[in-house]
Chains A and B, each alone.
Chain A
């Protein structure tokens, strides 16, 4: 996540997938989720850190996440946890994502889906 970048709609569906995947390792609060995504993607995903919250709230409204309030060092944190529905959604999204990436990979390499890629010869 780069500093100052703000593009909440970047890569449709990817932020949701990233959040669900990070939370599948255990409950976390917003700041920790942002740090986990930044660390795991090596800063590739660029968006304003603040936009994680509307995204978390949207997922909560859809029943994919549940929340718990926790006081740490005099501050109240809202800790997000994956719900059963969220786990199911993550499984489906992962399958769909893998299918998409395989298709794109095949497209980029010139072969058909499921077949050996044809690497263009260097001129």
Chain B
């Protein structure tokens, strides 16, 4: 389809209008299939097979591109990708992490009250994993919301990957630690902090990085070599 003149003109026009590549690819693909359906229908009706005649029905590439350029602007995140994905995604992760801290304070602390390592030795392993969980789970949730938002705004998946990378960095800098009371009830501690370097918390970045990798594999198609022969020419020859 990329060697058909009208589609080349459309590609150029979409590029000139600054239409995100991901959306441009989808639009061109759907138009190409529409064009093929038109050709099939014309052939069935016994019309002469002329490429230009069929493609004219799709309209002017320039006007179509100008119209298509407005589609990603339909969502707030589509209009402000830097704010939504680069700044907003890490901020969302921070908010969710703080929410998990508040939830732990109000939901878990009363449950652990009066307990010490001496009376309840199982507290040690539970509290050692609680901190990382409070970082990783909100970060994964922020990544999922970010990917959904990028998809909805029809922006490039690279925005999602950039936001996910920043969330991973944030995870590596965040430390939530629970220290249960050893023998005297009421002497346990919980500490929350953001710091660099992150020698003891780097592993928390793995989960968002895995999520980002899966997203990238799913959303970014592998580069394909350009087709040597236009599909349109093949179609014309076949007809």
Chain A residues packing against B (C-beta within 8 Å): 1, 3-9, 30-31, 34, 47-51, 53-54, 57-58, 61-62, 75-78
* List of B residues within 8 angstroms of A34 by Cβ: 34
Q: Nearest chain B CB to A95's CB is how many angstroms away?
A: 24
**In contact, B31 and A53 (Cβ under 8 angstroms):** yes
Size bin of chain B's contact surface: 20 to 34
* List of B residues within 8 angstroms of A4 by Cβ: 56-57, 59
**In contact, A50 and B71 (Cβ under 8 angstroms):** no
In the assembled complex, the Cα of A53 lies from the Cα of B37 at a distance in Å of 15
- With beta carbons under 8 angstroms apart, the residue of B34, B59, B71 that contacts A31 is B34
In the assembled complex, the Cα of A11 lies from the Cα of B12 at a distance in Å of 28
B184 at the interface (CB under 8 A from A): no
B30 at the interface (CB under 8 A from A): yes
**In contact, B59 and A30 (Cβ under 8 angstroms):** no
In the assembled complex, the Cα of A4 lies from the Cα of B53 at a distance in Å of 9
Please give me the residue from chain B that is nearest to A2 by CB atom. B57
* List of B residues within 8 angstroms of A53 by Cβ: 27, 30-31, 34, 68
B60 at the interface (CB under 8 A from A): yes
- With beta carbons under 8 angstroms apart, the residue of A49, A58, A75 that contacts B59 is A49
B38 at the interface (CB under 8 A from A): yes
B58 at the interface (CB under 8 A from A): yes
Please give me the residue from chain A that is nearest to B56 by CB atom. A4
In the assembled complex, the Cα of A31 lies from the Cα of B31 at a distance in Å of 9
**In contact, A57 and B33 (Cβ under 8 angstroms):** no
Additional A-B contacts beyond A9-B67, A47-B59, A49-B38 (12; CB < 8 A): A1-B57, A4-B57, A30-B34, A31-B37, A50-B31, A50-B34, A51-B64, A53-B30, A53-B34, A54-B71, A62-B74, A76-B29
**In contact, A6 and B23 (Cβ under 8 angstroms):** no
In the assembled complex, the Cα of A49 lies from the Cα of B56 at a distance in Å of 9
In the assembled complex, the Cα of A34 lies from the Cα of B59 at a distance in Å of 13
In the assembled complex, the Cα of A50 lies from the Cα of B59 at a distance in Å of 6
**In contact, A54 and B38 (Cβ under 8 angstroms):** no
* List of A residues within 8 angstroms of B59 by Cβ: 4-6, 8, 47-51
